[in-house]
A and B are shown apart, each in its own frame.
Chain A
Amino acid sequence: MSLEIEDVEKLYKIVSTDTVIHALNGIDISLPAGKTLGIVGESGCGKSTLARLVTGLEAPNQGSITWKGLPIHDVNKGSFSTKKSVVQLVFQDPYSSLNPRQRIGDAISEIITVHNLVEKNMVETRVSELLSLVGLADDLKNRYPHQLSGGQRQRVSIARALAAEPSLLVLDEPVSALDVSVRAEVMNLLLDLRAKLGLTYIFISHDLAMIRYISDLVAVMYLGKIVEFGSWEQVINDPQHPYTQALIQAMPDHTVIGNPESLAKTLEGEVPDPVNLPTGCAFHLRCVKATPACAVEPQSLREISSNHLVACMEA
């Protein structure tokens, strides 16, 4: 009863320049049902690609993804009749994730009626139930998305995903576009829903503060690979990979104040072009601990303590 991602690779061919982007290079993850996996990394690390693969929007070039023993690609095709094993998705941008010409109520009821998830005469009740579940007033049903605030829209997106009665929810940067004061509320909502409905989450973010707050397991990604994997305490309180360490240092921290020295740069350079991946360890060009060997030998995850995996020879 878990999500199994095995040796997944994803390539994108760019026709106009005749090049290939290596978006994901051999991802292995095992996530027990009911747990939350946090995936953190900077833009271009492949975290959103992974979200698309896990929800079956795209197929991997290699490897397999299964949820509760079923290949993910079949999960969403035939599963609505059996009402189980459904994977759903919530995106970052609350503005583009709702059809601007569809009322909120219709957006939610559409899933229920198309897949006959409840009796016909119960649809309205179910929509109200879902709205109250995400903390929205019932009269929002008749509004259009542009009449809602960003936080409200994100709640609607969550309600819509829940309408499909999923057991696995992929959250791709769900609070990044929201105002600070609204963010906390949505995060609290996600915590409550997980407890109430027994959901499994994949929570994708560039913000380690949010990741550490909600995750049981954390995967750190860099250029299409997982460079560190473990429980949240292991990864965030005891990071072993130099990249994870740099990410944590770079986190804006409001508890440390008036200390300009804390701004001293920790990581040189920028993420290399995924079209021409560096040889050896992809991170060696920016790594403070890099040795000549790092430029030659590719690194793969190895267990440095119980269930704490790091892809670095120096760790």
Chain B
Amino acid sequence: MKNKEIKTKGALHYYLQSTSGIVGAVLVLIMVIVAICSIFGITPYDPVEQHIDNILQGPSAHFWFGTDDFGRDVFSRTLEGMRRSLTVSITAVSLATILGVTFGILAGYVGKWFDQLVTRVSDVFFAFPAILLALAIVASLGNAWYDTALAIGVVYTPIFIRVARGPVLTVKEMDYIKISRVLGFSSFRILRKHIFPNVFAPIVVQIALSLSWAILTESGLSFLGLGTQPPTPSLGLMVSDAQPLAAFAWWTLVFPSLFITIVVVGLNLVGDGLRDALDPARRSS
């Protein structure tokens, strides 16, 4: 218990020394709060409510981000869209992390035919552009949010297999792992106590980066009409709907786009910050 405390404190200490890490964390935090607001219905209006008298209004005190061609409040819709994006991405990345890390660590540690099999299969997955594969899966599964999440999760699993497997191969060759075997420790113990803590850092970094890619993929799918269906808002769909309107109602395009960009920038900065904070080589200097 004490052990853990010190470790996280140390990493946090180093994390807080990186400017980009702090900026990223703040951006992501804002977006998460926004999403949570939407979960509890703390939005100015119902996202699907049509204000017939206020079609295509510019940003104002009543409608902070203006209204769209159905008179719906863009601000409320953006919040709701952000919540959907985050829900899908977090579910997808959790799935990919659990599957990928388990198979990656096992493949790296067990080696031999199992490693061959896992790398071959993940190579096959890798041979696809992610969005295309997700597209195919969504096309046949359906477009409920969990279908999208499942599709993105499957597509990102091989990334986590690679990220986990690589360091395991390196760590496995370290002298302290050999010594653990001579000391008669079980494989499970070696994996849990000696290998996992040492491959943890790249996985955490990858989670942050994958979340950002997942958000891009999710909004890309819904932009193509293969994700969330109208009238439920989603950021990609809002951009798609804004295409014919943008010329005279810039706010319909700008705000959802801005939210996607902010959260993706934030997650990338968090990833960079984590990479620096969790790398013992950079710390010791």
Evaluate whether A87 and B182 lie within 8 angstroms (CB atoms) in the complex, with A93-B175, A99-B176 already known.
yes
Contacting residues, chain B, for A160 (C-beta < 8 A): 179, 183
Q: Which stretch of B81-89, B97-105, B129-137, B192-200 is in the interface?
A: B192-200
Does B140 have its Cβ within 8 Å of any Cβ on chain A? no
Q: Is the CB of A101 within 8 A of B175?
A: no
Q: Is the CB of A89 within 8 A of B194?
A: no
Evaluate whether A80 and B184 lie within 8 angstroms (CB atoms) in the complex, with A99-B194, A110-B193 already known.
yes
Does A106 have its Cβ within 8 Å of any Cβ on chain B? yes
**B120 to chain A: closest CB distance in Å?**
16
Q: How many residues of A contact B (CB 8 A)?
A: 31
Interface size class of B (residues with CB under 8 A): 10 to 19
Closest A residue to B173 by beta carbon equals A96
Contacting residues, chain B, for A93 (C-beta < 8 A): 175
Contacting residues, chain A, for B174 (C-beta < 8 A): 96-97
Q: Is the CB of B182 within 8 A of A89?
A: yes
A114, B192: Cα distance in complex, Å: 14
Contacting residues, chain A, for B184 (C-beta < 8 A): 76-77, 79-80, 114-115, 164
Main SS class of interface, B: helix
Contacting residues, chain B, for A114 (C-beta < 8 A): 183-185, 189
Contacting residues, chain A, for B189 (C-beta < 8 A): 114
Does A109 have its Cβ within 8 Å of any Cβ on chain B? no
A93, B197: Cα distance in complex, Å: 21
Does B181 have its Cβ within 8 Å of any Cβ on chain A? yes
Contacting residues, chain A, for B62 (C-beta < 8 A): none
Interface residues of A in 93-120 (CB under 8 A from B): 93, 96-103, 106, 110-111, 114-115
Does A205 have its Cβ within 8 Å of any Cβ on chain B? no
A161, B176: Cα distance in complex, Å: 11
A79, B183: Cα distance in complex, Å: 11
Contacting residues, chain A, for B193 (C-beta < 8 A): 99, 102, 110
Q: Is the CB of A103 within 8 A of B3?
A: yes
Contacting residues, chain A, for B3 (C-beta < 8 A): 103, 106
Does B178 have its Cβ within 8 Å of any Cβ on chain A? yes
Q: Is the CB of A111 within 8 A of B194?
A: no
Q: Is the CB of A57 within 8 A of B198?
A: no
Does A88 have its Cβ within 8 Å of any Cβ on chain B? yes
Q: Is the CB of B280 within 8 A of A97?
A: no
A279, B185: Cα distance in complex, Å: 43
Does A289 have its Cβ within 8 Å of any Cβ on chain B? no
- Provide the B88-115 mask, 1 if CB < 8 A to any CB of A, else 0: 0000000000000000000000000000
Does A232 have its Cβ within 8 Å of any Cβ on chain B? no
Does B13 have its Cβ within 8 Å of any Cβ on chain A? no
A-B contact count (CB 8 A): 61
Contacting residues, chain A, for B179 (C-beta < 8 A): 89, 91, 97, 157, 160-161
Closest A residue to B7 by beta carbon equals A101
A257, B190: Cα distance in complex, Å: 51
A114, B182: Cα distance in complex, Å: 13
Which single member of A97, A101, A110 contacts B198 (CB below 8 Å)? A101
Does B284 have its Cβ within 8 Å of any Cβ on chain A? yes
Closest B residue to A98 by beta carbon equals B176
Contacting residues, chain A, for B181 (C-beta < 8 A): 57
Q: Is the CB of A97 within 8 A of B176?
A: yes
Q: Is the CB of A102 within 8 A of B194?
A: yes
Q: Is the CB of B284 within 8 A of A146?
A: yes
Closest A residue to B198 by beta carbon equals A101
Q: Is the CB of A99 within 8 A of B198?
A: yes
Interface residues of B in 141-197 (CB under 8 A from A): 174-176, 178-179, 181-185, 189, 193-194, 197
Does A239 have its Cβ within 8 Å of any Cβ on chain B? no
Does A36 have its Cβ within 8 Å of any Cβ on chain B? no
Pick the most buried of B7, B183, B198: most chain A CB atoms within 10 A of its CB.
Answer: B183
**B206 to chain A: closest CB distance in Å?**
19
Does A56 have its Cβ within 8 Å of any Cβ on chain B? yes
A48, B193: Cα distance in complex, Å: 26
Contacting residues, chain B, for A88 (C-beta < 8 A): 182-183
Q: A96-B175, A114-B185 given. 10 additional CB < 8 A pairs?
A: A76-B182, A88-B182, A93-B175, A99-B176, A99-B197, A102-B193, A103-B3, A106-B3, A146-B284, A160-B183
- The residues of B with any CB-CB pair to A shorter than 8 Å are 3, 7, 174-176, 178-179, 181-185, 189, 193-194, 197-198, 280, 284
28 contacts between A and B (CB under 8 A): A55-B182, A57-B181, A57-B182, A77-B184, A79-B184, A88-B182, A89-B182, A91-B179, A96-B176, A97-B175, A97-B179, A98-B176, A99-B193, A99-B194, A100-B198, A100-B280, A101-B7, A101-B197, A102-B193, A102-B197, A106-B3, A110-B185, A114-B184, A114-B189, A157-B179, A160-B179, A160-B183, A164-B184
Q: Give 6 nearest A-B pairs by CB, closest first.
A: A97-B175, A91-B175, A101-B197, A96-B175, A99-B176, A96-B174
